Amino acid sequence: MPIKEDINLEEGISGGLRKKLERYFASHKDGSVPPGLYDRIIKEIERVMFDVTLKHVDGNQSQASKILGINRNTLRKKILELNVGDIDR
């Protein structure tokens, strides 16, 4: 899968996230940022991280758990919780 050209690999994930958050806050100049930002961000990041990782390894949960550095059972729990990947339900 080709990498989007607008991604600066040298700035890393945190640099990209910083830019997104700065734009998010700038779009709420009146201070009307909805509560619960932490939980929303964590859920969104987890969902993308698990989904992209699973696609990268063609759904191989053993490889995905190794890449993510988590137990395979934890991976399966997260797959169900976040509704990502193809898993027998």
Domain total in the chain: 1
User: Can you give the pLDDT at residue 29?
Assistant: 85
Structural domain range at position 65: 12-82
Domain holding 65: CATH number?
1.10.10.60
The size of the chain, in residues, is 89
What DSSP assignment string belongs to 1-48? -PPPTT--TTTHHHHHHHHHHHHHHHTTTTS-PPS-HHHHHHHHHHHH
Say if 51 falls within a structural domain: yes
Digitized pLDDT (tens) for each residue of the chain, 89 residues in all: 455 555 566 678 889 889 999 999 999 988 889 999 999 999 999 999 999 999 999 999 999 999 999 999 999 999 999 999 765 43
pTM of the model: 0.73
User: Can you give the pLDDT at residue 80?
Assistant: 94
User: Can you give the pLDDT at residue 30?
Assistant: 87
- Angle 11-12-13 (CA atoms, 0-180°, nearest 5)? 130
User: Can you give the pLDDT at residue 60?
Assistant: 96
Half-sphere exposure of 88 (CA within 13 A, CB side): 0
